[in-house]
């Protein structure tokens, strides 16, 4: 079972933000969230190049409204 829980540390203990329906005594493995990704330098460079190209296209008026982009994506999903 994959379940994502959100908690905060209070007085040295993890306190869930919302109630959860688990049997009493359930054991839960916790993994800290990380802002890191698994991109290597080459992949990160390629990603930044694509983002730079997209930003330039937007500056030159080649973009489309978000509503149109979402409509296109929805059509692809059907």
Q: Is the pLDDT of residue 10 over 60?
A: yes
pLDDT tens, 14-56?
898 888 888 999 888 888 777 778 899 999 999 999 999 999 9
pTM value?
Answer: 0.45
Question: Domain limits of the chain?
Answer: 38-62
For the chain, the DSSP string reads ------EEEETTEEEESS-----TT---------S-----HHHHHHHHHHHHHHHHHHHTT----HHHHHHHHHHHH-
């Amino acid at each position: 079972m994959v379940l994502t829980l959100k908690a905060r540390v209070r007085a040295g203990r993890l306190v869930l933000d919302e109630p959860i329906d688990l049997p009493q005594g359930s054991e839960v493995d916790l993994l800290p969230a990380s802002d890191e990704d698994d991109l290597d330098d080459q992949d990160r460079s390629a990603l930044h190049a694509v983002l730079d190209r997209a930003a330039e296209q937007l500056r030159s008026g080649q973009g489309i409204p978000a509503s149109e982009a979402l409509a296109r994506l929805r059509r692809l999903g059907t």
